[in-house]
Structure 1
Amino acid sequence: MSKANERAQRAAEERAAQARRESRRRILTIGGVVLAMIVIVGGAVLVSVLNKKEVTVSDAGSSDFGVTIGKKDAPHTVVIYEDFICPFCGELESRTRDDLTKLAEDGKVLVEYRPFDLLSGRVGDYPIRAASAFSVVLEKSGPEVAKKFHDLLYENQPAEDSGDSVTNDDLVALAVEAGATESDVADAIKNVSNKDWVTKATQEATANNVQGTPTILLDGKVFDDGRTVDDLAKNLVDALE
């Protein structure tokens, strides 16, 4: 079996496991929300609401920590903050990639993907290694190759509890598959040379009050129209068409 087929099989198995975990998480989340809504304190219903601060970000295409598709004069902008191991980011990406690409090509939207490290403290260093590799490819091979690498990272996304299954050599192979020249990127990817880039990207996201992934901004405002990732993806595309 070729390495590409092995990666595809491994990714499919991990996505299936990821789907099972998400199903359990949704059940727990729904249960927690229902419990919060029925708790009574001092005769009043205690409504548990996440402490959401206003997310304020620079315009799409103006960050040093992302890659864009589309034209700068497009009537709409979308910014997506993401962590490469976040399963919901992977779902959103798979459900919106084709539509956002088409809308960008049609001049309807400028989309910027901004990866950062949200989850390494919980799942290990894969978010740092993947984002560092992304920045290396962006720097050495340009935005077109970096976007293809971005897409391949999600196509081969490990489960949250198995980030170590994707090695730095695997990241190099994906970068080359995306179109990067191996000699240009291999050492920096293997050595995680762009950790500082990841740190700065994460600091920017934190400074902008980004508290979760994926965080979507449509025309500068948080877009959260949907109870599920499917709903969110569909409603985002509908808003742009």
Structure 2
Amino acid sequence: MSNKIKNPNDKGSGFLWALVALLAIIAVVVGYIVIQGRNDKKAEIAANTVDTSINVEVEDNAIRLTSDATEDDAAEVDLYEDYSCPHCAELAEASDEDMLKAIEDGTLVVNIRSLNFLDRGQDGASSKAGTSAYTLAKAGKANEYWNFRSHLMNNQNAMYSWEPDQFADAAGEVGADKSLRDSISKQSERGDYDEISTANASKLEKETGKVSSPHVIHDGEELLPNDNWVKDLVGK
């Protein structure tokens, strides 16, 4: 009886089972990393969420921020910003805390005039983010709007590649209910947002001669570049 010579390259079923086990372990590890990443994101958003006492409404193409304490002689500014603008993010980091306090104290009214010129006519992050934030503002959800806007400004690098569902998830993490998340996912307010962003760009061009960001304008006067514009304006 002859002995069958085994192919040295034939690893046999044992090798195949080992490979299957390895792939299973890799899948578990990858799944863990993804879930942990989501949990870390939720924790980060929660840690940076604040309770505000401001009011929000959409008026004259602006997202208008006031409070129940707003004084009749409160200073009023137009803040032009684009969610894809790194300088807007830097300004938000430098002055949002002072801006929020002044709004809550009643000494400042801020008209946020959202822009999407950095999309350059494409369906980009500026428009998706702007539509999402506008959805919250139009619904009168001041706390959700403020924290959502802050989160987007603080996470521009990640936001550039987001799809509407990811904007909806982020809105949910700051308290947006299911109907608002669904509206953000569908970008239901896109038409209205495009109209107001176009109107804001036209207004800005008339005031400054160009469309750029950020700008803070008070009584026709540009307050930037100045990270301390809030304290200089309201004296706090």
TM-score interval, smaller chain: 0.5 to 0.7
Quick one: structure 1 residues 123 and 72, their matched pair in 2 at CA, closer, same or farther if it must change by over 3 Å?
farther
**Aligned partner (choices 168, 171, 175) of residue 172 of structure 1:** 168
Partner in structure 2 of residue 186 of structure 1: 181
Partner in structure 1 of residue 213 of structure 2: 213
Distance 1:64 1:114 in 2: 7
User: Is 1:238 aligned to 2:235, yes or no?
Assistant: no
For residues 15-94 of structure 1, the aligned pairs below 5 Å read 62-70=59-67, 71=70, 73-94=72-93
Partner in structure 1 of residue 14 of structure 2: none
Which sections of structure 1, spanning at least 5 residues, go unmatched? 10-59, 227-231
Quick one: structure 1 residues 67 and 209, their matched pair in 2 at CA, closer, same or farther if it must change by over 3 Å?
closer
Distance 2:233 2:138 in 1: 32
Aligned-partner SS, 1:190: helix
Distance 2:127 2:81 in 1: 12
Distance 1:72 1:104 in 2: 10
Q: CA deviation at 1:236?
A: 4.2
Partner in structure 2 of residue 101 of structure 1: 100
Q: CA deviation at 1:135?
A: 1.6
Aligned-partner SS, 2:78: strand
Asked if structure 1 preserves the Cα contact closer than 8 Å seen for 2:61 and 2:197, the reply is: no
Instruction: Give the RMSD, CA atoms, in angstroms.
Output: 2.7
Q: Deviations for 1:173-218, whole angstroms, at most 9, x for unmatched residues? A: 211122210x212332122222212221122112213411111112
User: Which residue type is aligned with residue 3 of structure 1?
Assistant: R
Query: How many correspondences in the alignment?
Result: 181
Distance 1:220 1:143 in 2: 27
Q: CA deviation at 1:2?
A: 4.2
User: Which residue type is aligned with residue 218 of structure 2?
Assistant: L
Distance 1:123 1:188 in 2: 21
Distance 1:147 1:119 in 2: 22
Q: Which structure has the larger Rg? A: 2
Aligned-partner SS, 2:109: strand
Asked if structure 1 preserves the Cα contact closer than 8 Å seen for 2:64 and 2:109, the reply is: no
Aligned-partner SS, 1:216: strand
Asked if structure 1 preserves the Cα contact closer than 8 Å seen for 2:136 and 2:180, the reply is: yes
For residues 190-201 of structure 1, the aligned pairs below 5 Å read 190-201=185-196
- Give identity over the alignment, percent: 20
Q: Deviations for 1:33-53, whole angstroms, at most 9, x for unmatched residues? A: xxxxxxxxxxxxxxxxxxxxx
Which sections of structure 2, spanning at least 5 residues, go unmatched? 1-35, 45-56, 206-210
Aligned-partner SS, 1:144: helix
Quick one: structure 1 residues 69 and 149, their matched pair in 2 at CA, closer, same or farther if it must change by over 3 Å?
farther
Q: CA deviation at 1:170?
A: 1.9
User: Is 1:222 aligned to 2:216, yes or no?
Assistant: no
Partner in structure 2 of residue 134 of structure 1: 133
Asked if structure 2 preserves the Cα contact closer than 8 Å seen for 1:80 and 1:216, the reply is: yes
Quick one: structure 1 residues 189 and 100, their matched pair in 2 at CA, closer, same or farther if it must change by over 3 Å?
same
Distance 1:103 1:209 in 2: 24
